[in-house]
Structure 1
């Protein structure tokens, strides 16, 4: 499968199955486009006389015959090297992916089903998750860590995210569970990587020091410019949260040497010019950031709609170009959705089936129920078990294990499938009633982000060569 596009003056050819990226001139771009227009050729087809004859007939009005012949030879060489017109070797592996055992390596601990903000788009309903307000007890959290240790098999590195609601509203239990985890590491030859996601309202020096000592990563929730943030992330009395939390976040980010954290925002229809919010983060001094598109029903006034996609794509293009210039000026920063590894990347199972929700990654409610991920919490059809009994409905894990880019018709012919791995299963279920679907608006944005990320790699490689 070949994907071709033009962005910021670059002619880019992506060989989807190998992951090879080629930045080419107009002639080579047109030659590849002609060859890919029908059934994509293999080495033998490229050597047939009719292949050259077809190229000459199609392109002779634009290019000289000798140029076309030379370009075809370049294409043949790339094909022989396995970097162009490669075949899909992953689909035959899908049965192996489906047969993997459930080895849980990560938990999202809902340490607090309560929150001190009233964010308008919150899928957790101000922390209640379709249920009741509650704080996780130390006893339930301890059982959750025990469950993770037992369910992780021989895997040594384990991940635990303290989540909410707002985790800092149950801070003592967070500290106690980290201490318990450190004790268990020595006994079971495990290593816990703890993360906390916070809105920052309760952040102080003592909490900051603990986070810096014990947390591998921290996610800081902020939506961007003051007016944008305060419109969507107010306190329950309607007052904005920006002025209180921004200085705290700046202090925390600096204390971590601008590493091992993310400022994470959400953009809505209210700020389709979200590139300005990303740049606002950068101007505040943050180096690690992400702004995610809101997911909501069309009846929600802030929800993104199909007609918003062109504007959103323009914003990603604008942001990518500005990030290139800032990088050249020595003022670069990381934007999560433009971070892409073209040389290594995730393992095959991750490329095919995504985040591991329902199999490798589970969410735990304050009372110890297990769900495939935090976005399924409260939907009883996805209740998988509890920390006392473990997974009591393994058929749910089987269903998630069988979800891949090959179980979704929309993914099969999508060039971005090995980068998004089929997208968010919760979004698919919420919009289509099945996890074996794709959230269409999200797909459109993901494709644009992949294109921008690849273009940035090309542009920064050019800048490096010029030095």
Structure 2
């Protein structure tokens, strides 16, 4: 399968199944478009007619171009057949029972009252609670016991607001560090926080123990304070921004992400990206809100068109700042054209419910944080392990080939079938397809590939 598109001055051709990306001129772009549907002479004749007014496009050159494309096809870099489908289930089966990451919900409570919060202001549609040290310790033991021969393990301290249970976070990290050598493991910890409780102690601890810190900021003050308010209705922007700046400076501008959400209120999210840059932040992420249709925060069809344009403008801004020596990272545009995820990850998906699970303050296991609180998705608990094998099997089968809608999508080996939670909330099935999310993802990937191509061309 071939996917072709133009962005700015670039003509990009993606060979989906080999992952090869080609930056070509307009003539080669047109020839690739007709390569499999027209005979050689017919195609050359048609292009000779189309470009008859261009002296630099001659018939011998068109024939040479055709031969070069044929050589690329023979080399497996164009028009490559999909041979991955039979591998999808097999690869997942090889890692069955091996868990590599946990999302520890150390706090089912929050000091902010964000109306768009998928977690119902941190309560996950249940009772407010804090995870005890004993539950957290058992969760870490559960992870080590079920990680097989894996050496590197990942744990994200999540909420609600995890800093509302900071003492337990510190004790759990200390426990993990005390046993990882004898267990032959190494923990990589991350922390996701709204920033309200950040102080010098948090900063010192995060810099020492957290491989990454995710900081919630929606960009412009008026945008951020529209939703991210405390229980008195006061915005949090003024309170958290100086704390974020201090933390990021202490981390020397590395190993963090400013994570924002754009909604119906700010589909022009590039202005929020610019605000983050102006504040000195360069590791950025802006995610589309996931909301029920009719929710005031939900993106509309008109918003989607704006967002698509914003992604293109963002790509141009990144390349412009590259030239100015002021580069920045946008999480969704991080792509490695020469390597990237292995084929296992590309066809098997995120691993929710199999390699990755969320743990509630009471020790219950769920496929991921977005399913917490929905009892039908409860997998088991950290003492007895996974007991709901039917649900786990459903998630194990959530690979890119399990969805008919994905089979003809050029982006399938980049999204790996998409987010099961988004699919479920949009369609009622974890094997469904969140169509609006797919549209945005495909646009992001086009822009990400174009940025990577432009950067590669700029180094030659």
TM-score by length of 1: 0.95
Q: Does 1:67 align with 2:55?
A: no
Which residue does the alignment assign to 2:98? 103
Deviations 1:264-288 (A, max 9, x none): 0000010011011112111111121
Please tell me whether the aligned partners of residues 267 and 304 of structure 2 are also in contact (alpha carbons under 8 angstroms).
Answer: no
Which residue does the alignment assign to 2:33? 33
Note the residue ranges of structure 1 that are not aligned, 5 or more in a row.
39-49
Q: Does 1:292 align with 2:280?
A: no
1:216 to 211, 236, 242: 211
1:175-324 equivalences in 2 (<5 Å): 175-324=170-319
RMSD over aligned Cα atoms: 1.2
Separation in structure 1 between the aligned mates of residue 313 and residue 82 of structure 2, nearest angstrom: 33
Which residue does the alignment assign to 1:5? 5
Q: Does 1:373 align with 2:384?
A: no
Please tell me whether the aligned partners of residues 380 and 386 of structure 2 are also in contact (alpha carbons under 8 angstroms).
Answer: yes
Please tell me whether the aligned partners of residues 108 and 130 of structure 2 are also in contact (alpha carbons under 8 angstroms).
Answer: yes
Please tell me whether the aligned partners of residues 336 and 452 of structure 2 are also in contact (alpha carbons under 8 angstroms).
Answer: no
Separation in structure 2 between the aligned mates of residue 146 and residue 95 of structure 1, nearest angstrom: 28
> What is the count of residue pairs matched by the alignment?
453
Separation in structure 1 between the aligned mates of residue 336 and residue 432 of structure 2, nearest angstrom: 26
SS of 2:157's partner is strand
Separation in structure 1 between the aligned mates of residue 414 and residue 231 of structure 2, nearest angstrom: 38
Please tell me whether the aligned partners of residues 44 and 59 of structure 2 are also in contact (alpha carbons under 8 angstroms).
Answer: yes
SS of 1:262's partner is strand
**TM-superposed deviation, 1:311:** 1.1
Separation in structure 2 between the aligned mates of residue 456 and residue 293 of structure 1, nearest angstrom: 20
SS of 2:76's partner is coil
Separation in structure 1 between the aligned mates of residue 64 and residue 305 of structure 2, nearest angstrom: 38
1:83 to 59, 77, 82: 77
SS of 2:170's partner is helix
SS of 1:61's partner is helix
1:93 to 75, 87, 92: 87
Please tell me whether the aligned partners of residues 194 and 217 of structure 1 are also in contact (alpha carbons under 8 angstroms).
Answer: yes
Separation in structure 2 between the aligned mates of residue 102 and residue 434 of structure 1, nearest angstrom: 23
Please tell me whether the aligned partners of residues 409 and 437 of structure 1 are also in contact (alpha carbons under 8 angstroms).
Answer: no
Please tell me whether the aligned partners of residues 102 and 397 of structure 1 are also in contact (alpha carbons under 8 angstroms).
Answer: no
TM-score by length of 2: 0.96
Q: Does 1:54 align with 2:48?
A: no
Displacement over 4 Å in runs of 4+ = none
Note the residue ranges of structure 2 that are not aligned, 5 or more in a row.
52-57
